[in-house]
Amino acid sequence: MKEFFGFGGYNRTPEGFMSWQHITFVTSLLVVMTFLAVFFGRKNRNAEEEKKNRVLCIAAILIDAFELFKIVLLCIRHQDALQWRYELPLFMCSIQLITIPLAAFSKGRVKEAALDFVFMFGILGAVMGTYGAGQNYNTFPVLSFDNVVSGITHCISGFSSLYIVIAGMTSMKRENIGISFAIIGSFCVAAYIANVLLPYNYMFLMRGDGTPYDILFNLVNGNPVLYPLFVVLLFMVYIVCFYLVYYFVRSKRAKAK
């Protein structure tokens, strides 16, 4: 257990990014995630909104509970009460620590926008934060506290995304695009300020750190102005493209009927 939680440092050599251990582990997580989302989504598709929402409430509590446990343990492991500064919910995937609870516990337009935001970014975060997490799997053994908790929280985001669409909880109203832009924009500003003050690399706005963001970082030769601007622009383009694809598919289905 001491080795699993990393007290005193890990003695095992990391298996590495895209090793068969990495791929097997994250694929197993995503299979379970997808099965649960399909099972509960289909089960509650015709249920009352309160019953549909109950599943999201549990997901919201679980994702924040795992994250809080991780922060407390890392503060103990590093013997530094200020370690939480490097565990703030200022990564793309960790935005779901706030938006899933908003989707579960808020009402009205805020709830609609939060549901749509989780739908758009939850599954993306699940895939990128598991298969694409080169910074984690090159640093820690696959079956370690750091990677297991990261995998679970990313898959809760993916579960929530799939569940929302399968259970029929999306609205995808055009007027809510501005709220999605505001969520991303405000988090990017907060992340950039934190990066400068700490310093750190929240939202990967400073460098790619072994993730697919390295592709963009290399394209602009690591330019400290262009790189973060393009990262933010990439988020905005993703939102617009997601809406376009969503409405295209919906129109095709309507014509088929």
Three-state SS for the chain is CHHHHCCCCCCCCCCCCCCHHHHHHHHHHHHHHHHHHHHHHHHHCCCCHHHHHHHHHHHHHHHHHHHHHHHHHHHHHHCCCCHHHHCCCCCCHHHHHHHHHHHHHCCHHHHHHHHHHHHHHHHHHHHHCCCCCHHHHCCCCCCCHHHHHHHHHHHHHHHHHHHHHHCCCCCCCHHHHHHHHHHHHHHHHHHHHHHHHCCCCHHHCCCCCCCCHHHHHHHCCCCCCHHHHHHHHHHHHHHHHHHHHHHHHHHHHHHHC
What is the rounded average pLDDT of the residues 149-168? 96
pLDDT of residue 149: 96
Structure tokens at 66: 């795992």
pLDDT of residue 134: 87
What is the rounded average pLDDT of the residues 59-79? 95
Q: How many CB atoms lie within 10 A of CB 73?
A: 17
The Cα 254–Cα 187 span in angstroms is: 36
CA distances from 142 to 85, 126, 199 (A): 25, 16, 27
pLDDT band at 11 (very low <50, low <70, confident <90, very high): very high
Instruction: Return the CA Rg of the chain.
Output: 19
CB 162 within 8 A of CB 34: yes
pLDDT of residue 253: 82
pLDDT tens string 189-238:
999 999 999 999 999 999 988 778 899 999 999 999 999 999 999 999 99
What is the rounded average pLDDT of the residues 171-200? 92
Residue 119 has pLDDT above 80, yes or no: yes
Structure tokens at 244: 């376009």
Model's pTM, two decimal places? 0.90
Which residues have CB under 8 Å from 29's CB, separation 6+?
A: 130, 151, 152, 155
CB 231 within 8 A of CB 222: no
What is the rounded average pLDDT of the residues 134-163? 95
